[in-house]
Amino acid sequence: MNRQEVAALLAYAVRLDPRSAPADQAAADETLDQWADLLTDVATAAPHPNGRHWDAAQVVRHHIATSPYPIKPSDVSRPWHDFRRDVVDRHHDPVPAADPDDPAAYRAELLGTRNAVATGTAPAATFRELTGGPAPEVAERLAALGEYVPRTVAQALAEFRPRRADRERRAVEGLPDPLDVPCPHVHCRARAGEPCVNHRRNPRRTAHPSRLDLATARRYAPKEPAA
């Protein structure tokens, strides 16, 4: 955020919580200096791969609505760094357009893309690019999930079918899929391919941890030697 954006954020905070208003102009200038210094690397807004976008004003609003303490700049910067870390962790570098025979240009494009994702000026690429089509094992897992659609279409539909999107992501990234195995949770017992359910028998958005543990153990279990 630049100084003008920080000033607007402070004005919004004061409007929601008048007790945070500075006593005089000198105090207001000192507060603005402090906030501008600590929020210089914080974005006002930024996209997130799962649709949970960053909005600094909403962070301020949430703090004032839920905390009994006056807001500090760290109450905005800390959530931003957590948000940015999560976005960067989900990002997979797309293949640069630069000539791979020009290492300096190739590396510069990679670093530029990563920096744009980290600062919120570009969306994260959440699927590894597949050159020449999926690897045989990946193709087999995707085929088992049903008809495969192009990556761009799958990304556009991801928010409307999060469970399918997560299974496709796990297949592409070579991660264990909890829905490949039945759930061992005593109050669930969902069959393979079916989502876990809660105590009211309603589908859960995520699988029970014990189911993921079972899928992980089976995926990485030593293979039996061929007879």
pLDDT given for residue 52 in this prediction: 67
Cα separation, 121 vs 171, in Å, equals: 28
pLDDT given for residue 88 in this prediction: 67
Cα separation, 61 vs 67, in Å, equals: 10
The model's pTM: 0.45
Q: Are 46 and 83 in contact (CB under 8 A)?
A: yes
pLDDT given for residue 37 in this prediction: 92
Cα separation, 92 vs 94, in Å, equals: 6
Q: What are phi and psi of 45, to 5 degrees?
A: -150, 150
Q: Are 155 and 126 in contact (CB under 8 A)?
A: yes
pLDDT given for residue 86 in this prediction: 74
pLDDT given for residue 157 in this prediction: 47
Tokens describing residue 49: 């791969």
Which regions in the chain score pLDDT beneath 50?
128-132, 147-148, 152-153, 156-158, 160, 227
pLDDT given for residue 130 in this prediction: 45
